[in-house]
């Protein structure tokens, strides 16, 4: 029986223990984390360097240094774990060889802080967003910038590819979400529904849904199955304060998010797990390849990075909104 079903049936709703494991970082402020696809290693942006830890033993596996002169804000590891990209407050994008920790290329494509970076599933493209209100697409094969999108009226907060590579999405402080078709890199739709900043985006496993969160405390699920009729599938008021980050688990029916008040949530159809981590949550990620367990990595602005197990979180039996 899956863990969630077991908890639901037996009525284990109270917080029995604190399954919180702290990753040792030099700086308590961390914005960027990324799992390898097999979930065995976690890359942590520790000020100007990236340290990679074993998730099982917490041992330091490698350090990536010399690419940035200011705090690293976003990190992403490629699907095949051969490449890693990072973007920082210095406006620099760095492409790393993940196996050797060597710098492959350094890019200066933004005039401001780089807030979000991601590699496309096939590693063909690198997308980045920044406080210069721009989304920049870099072609890894041609070694050049091929597209620049200037549709946002304020900071770009999140850029993500769908797992099938069909879509690219960006969000901003202007409250807007733009959806781009990667076959043409034209805007397919503009999604509006948040009342203020949209802070983070993520696609589900097959790219049929996009989730967004923002300063209105809401998580919105957008139905993308019919590109001609994109609609809001669910609207869930998770928090009374800003929700800064979110992620979807591989099975598509569970998501995690974190807020300004230092709370991490795992939201299911049956109810919500909740835990306090003592500092604003800047990034939250499910450990990949999980089947029954609910482990998340939580980066914070003040308490470093912690690994949380859902079984040790408080449980609230309340169905999520539609």
Say if residue 18's pLDDT is above 90: no
pLDDT at 318: 59
Contact assessment for residue 238 and residue 211, using Cβ atoms and an 8 Å cutoff: no
Each residue's pLDDT tens digit, 71-93: 999 999 999 999 999 999 999 99
Say if residue 13's pLDDT is above 70: no
Each residue's pLDDT tens digit, 152-202: 999 999 999 999 999 999 999 999 999 999 999 999 999 999 999 999 999
Say if residue 9's pLDDT is above 60: no
CA dihedral (70, 71, 73, 78) in degrees, to 10, reads 80
Domain map of the chain by residue range? 71-288+307-316
CA atoms within 13 A on the CB side of 190: 7
Each residue's pLDDT tens digit, 119-163: 999 999 999 999 999 999 999 999 999 999 999 999 999 999 999
Burial tier of 144 (Cβ tally within 10 Å: 0-12, 13-18, 19+): exposed
pLDDT at 50: 98
How many Å is the Cα radius of gyration of the chain? Answer: 18
How many helices, marked H, and strands, marked E, lie in the chain?
1, 29
How far is 133 from 125, CA to CA, in rounded Å?
19
DSSP code at position 287 = P
How far is 231 from 187, CA to CA, in rounded Å?
16
Q: Quickly name the fold that domain 71-288+307-316 has.
A: Methylamine Dehydrogenase; Chain H (2.130.10)
């Amino acid at each position: 029986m899956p863990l969630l079903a077991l908890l639901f049936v037996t009525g284990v709703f109270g917080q029995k223990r604190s399954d919180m494991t702290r990753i040792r970082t030099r700086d308590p402020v961390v914005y960027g984390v990324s799992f390898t696809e097999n979930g065995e290693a976690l890359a942590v942006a520790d000020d100007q360097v990236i340290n990679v830890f074993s998730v099982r033993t917490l041992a330091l596996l490698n350090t990536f240094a010399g690419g940035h002169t200011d705090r690293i804000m976003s990190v992403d590891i490629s699907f095949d774990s051969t490449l890693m990209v990072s973007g920082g407050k210095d406006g620099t994008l760095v492409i790393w060889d993940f196996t050797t920790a060597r710098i492959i290329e350094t890019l200066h494509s933004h005039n401001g802080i780089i807030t979000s970076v991601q590699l496309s599933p096939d590693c063909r493209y690198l997308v980045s967003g920044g406080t210069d209100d721009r989304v920049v697409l870099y072609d890894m094969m041609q070694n050049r910038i091929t597209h620049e999108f200037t549709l946002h009226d304020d900071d770009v907060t999140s850029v993500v590819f769908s797992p099938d590579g069909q879509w690219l999405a960006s969000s901003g402080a202007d409250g807007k979400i733009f959806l781009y078709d990667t076959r043409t890199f034209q805007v397919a739709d503009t999604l509006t529904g948040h009342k203020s900043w949209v802070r983070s985006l993520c696609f589900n496993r097959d790219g049929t849904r996009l989730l967004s969160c923002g300063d209105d405390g809401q998580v919105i699920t957008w139905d993308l199955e019919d590109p001609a009729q994109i609609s809001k599938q669910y609207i869930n008021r998770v928090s009374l304060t800003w929700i800064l980050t979110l992620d979807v688990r591989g099975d598509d029916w569970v998501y995690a998010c974190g807020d300004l008040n230092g709370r991490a949530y795992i939201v299911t159809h049956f109810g919500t797990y909740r835990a306090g981590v003592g500092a604003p949550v800047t990034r939250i990620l499910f450990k990949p390849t999980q089947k029954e367990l609910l482990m998340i990595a939580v980066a914070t602005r003040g308490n470093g990075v912690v690994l949380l197990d859902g079984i040790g979180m408080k449980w609230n039996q309340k169905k999520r909104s539609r």
